[in-house]
Amino acid sequence: MSALKIYKRFGLNRSLILANDDALGFVKKLPDGCVDLVITSPPYCMGKEYETSSNYDDFEEFHRTFLPEIIRITKDGGNICWQVGYHVKNSGVMPLDYLVHQILQPHKEITLRNRLIWTFGHGLHCKKRFSGRHETVLWYSKGNEYTFNLDPVRIAQKYPGKTYYKGAKRGKPSGNPNGKNPADVWEIPNVKANHIEKTTHPCQFPFALAQRLILALSNKNGVVFDPFMGSGTTACAALVENRKFMGTEISPKYYQLAVDRCKQANARTLRFRPHDKPLLPPDPKSKVATNPFT
């Protein structure tokens, strides 16, 4: 670990490791079973400024080497969340979650628990196909005794006053008073120009998505790891929720952005949209829809 850049003064009793490093090289330095939760969104190999390829075959080849290392460093009972979308070329799409799951199927030590759909209302408008408005989080656990905390991520009941209409519980509340399970389709605004979290990163992860996964799939003081941390959103969510964090980012520009945002998170000055903030419907008295990004 001596080769890593370590920052330990971001907050009381917290540790944070941020490395301006190659993800695979960094992971190979880590010992077995040192991470409680992995959350990341890898490059899609679509020719972005931080990518070296625009071919999904390269995506698949890299993941065949990288994913076994991710399994190795994840603790028994830990969780892995791989957030991906589609590789798009000439209006044809390749679902990258399909490739990831195909690679992971032979690894019997992990189990796919959910294929979470993250849906959002804003994005590019397509002309030769329906506009894409969702991406996918593949959640795997390592072993059958895994961390899953539902109560911290419950959402408001659709009918909070609903009661049983017959039987021994007639007249009593039929829903959990703490809220309902958010299910496997999450509507969270993506980080576009009007979003309060927007930075210079072109494909920024929303805080709410990382926050909900961290709350549900790790415990306080657990270690969260993001090998492609970009602007540092997962790191910031980990700090806010009192987790330890390790992350790598190969771009010096975005690495520094992640460091700066972590300092803001520690100082409680980071602006973000929390996971439990409901989407606001249009105001019927106004001709302008309410901004869901605030």
Give pLDDT tens digits for 261-294.
999 998 899 998 888 887 765 455 544 444 454 5
Q: Which one, of 150, 143, 56, 67, lies nearest residue 103 by Cα?
A: 67
Q: Which residues contact 170 (CB under 8 A, 6 or more apart)?
A: 163, 164
Task: Tell me the whole-structure pTM to 2 decimals.
Answer: 0.86
Of the pLDDT bands very low, low, confident and very high (cuts 50, 70, 90), residue 151 is: very high
**Backbone region of residue 68 per phi and psi (left: phi > 0; alpha: psi in -120 to 50; beta: other values):** alpha
User: Are the CB atoms for 212 and 137 separated by under 8 Å?
Assistant: no
Residue 2's pLDDT is: 34
pLDDT, tens digit (0-9, with 9 covering 90-100), for 60-96: 999 999 999 999 999 999 999 999 988 777 778 889 9
Of the pLDDT bands very low, low, confident and very high (cuts 50, 70, 90), residue 152 is: very high
